[in-house]
Amino acid sequence: MTFPVAVLELYPLFRWLSGVLESFGFSANTVLIISYAVLGVIMFSALSIIALFLVWWERKIAAHMQQRFGPMRHGWHGWYQTIMDAIKLLQKEDVRVASRDKIVYFWAPVICFVAAYLAYIVMPWGKNLIVADFNIGILYIMAVTTFTVIALLMAGWGSNNKYALLGGMRSAAQVVSYEIPMVASILTVILFVGSMSMVDIVTSQSGWIFNWFIFKLPFGPIAFVTYLIAATAEANRTPFDIPEAEQELVAGFNIEYSGMKFAMFFLAEFINMFTVSALAATLFLGGWNGWSFIPSWAWFLMKTFGVVFLMMLIRWTYPRLRVDQLMEFAWKFLVPVTFANLILAAVIKYAGWHW
């Protein structure tokens, strides 16, 4: 049985499934397609559960930071609140504005939803726990997560609503600006690894805690903090959530979406947050590396949820930036800092001063 070149490490489950299917006498291609379909379903369910959990967690954190309790009535501390929300949103009427752009309006939530899930093809969840290890893994993630902007812009345009259009345009401006410092911070990591494969990035941080890139890089903490700021902006979260600023734009790009279409935007937002946090954990915090008495996927999840928790604390602590402040912060502060950091790192790497 032959795999595509890109697939180096696979789930043990994948191997087991392929073996079982082969023993039934299916052809190699059929086995591959069925196995990938099963993997896709597993990833989809896991991510959906994570997104639902994150919504509940966000509400609880918000509530506790404001000295409230948050959802309390439905299950232990309201644990099935978001499941109820999802079932309710499924039942809601699908409002379609008469003056909408039909194709664009329909496909915007779909693209947003799919783009959020696409990044997990190359995400290393644990040792040997990765769907496919591309040699351009990190580039692929950067490319795919940017699809979200197109979806938000489509939602803004297709709704034929001035607030939605403003939200979409703001989102495009913001993500294009913050993409540059984000990539520049990631480049320092890639510079030292010498590979864009996610598995290589994680394995080069193995060993003890000071091999993590946040400590190992010449200016690791700076790269990490700039990445985190840019990632917060990338995920459209407060203090950078001007695309859906409630006080100015009612609800921003998703103003005309109801029911399940809105739920798709909502879930995609939380999956995007999980994606950037997982990237932060993988690139700077050692990925699934850790003491071996805890399984590697648990390390990955612990670090990722730690970063998610940090992002939620930031969200409920700081007020929203104005549009011009946002742009000034990106172009006048983040871009020079990250580029200086990148150039210094390159010089240090070239001169061989690092350990």
Tell me the sheet residues that pair with 126: 129
User: Residue 165 CB, nearest distance to other proteins (Å)?
Assistant: 14
User: Residue 257 CB, nearest distance to other proteins (Å)?
Assistant: 6
User: Residue 83 CB, nearest distance to other proteins (Å)?
Assistant: 8
87 binds other proteins (CB under 8 A): yes
88/260 Cα distance (integer angstroms): 9
Tokens of 46: 């896991």
72 binds other proteins (CB under 8 A): yes
350/155 Cα distance (integer angstroms): 46
| Closest to other proteins by CB, 2 or 91 | 91
| Closest to other proteins by CB, 167 or 286 | 167
211 binds other proteins (CB under 8 A): no
Which residues, 6 or more positions from 247, have their beta carbon under 8 angstroms from its beta carbon?
Answer: none
Tokens of 114: 């799919």
| Closest to other proteins by CB, 2 or 247 | 247
Which residues, 6 or more positions from 280, have their beta carbon under 8 angstroms from its beta carbon?
Answer: 224, 227, 228, 231, 304, 307
Tokens of 266: 């909502």
Of positions 93, 99, 293, 351, contacts other proteins by CB under 8 A: 93
The one-character DSSP state at 330 is I
69 binds other proteins (CB under 8 A): yes
Q: Quick check: helix, strand or coil at residue 26?
A: coil
295 binds other proteins (CB under 8 A): no
| Closest to other proteins by CB, 313 or 347 | 313
Of positions 66, 211, 317, 325, contacts other proteins by CB under 8 A: 66
Q: Within positions 228 to 267, which residues make up the interface with other proteins, using CB under 8 A?
A: 246, 250-251, 254-259, 262
- From the list 61-69, 178-186, 320-328, 331-339, the region that binds other proteins by CB under 8 A is 61-69
Phi/psi-derived region of residue 295, left when phi > 0, alpha when psi is between -120 and 50, beta in every other case: beta
Q: Identity (one letter) of the amino acid at 241?
A: D
Neighbours of 276 (CB within 10 A): 26
Q: Within positions 101 to 140, which residues make up the interface with other proteins, using CB under 8 A?
A: none
190/217 Cα distance (integer angstroms): 11
Which residues of the shown chain bind other proteins in the complex (CB under 8 A)?
59, 63, 66-74, 78, 81, 83-85, 87-88, 91-95, 246, 250-251, 254-259, 262
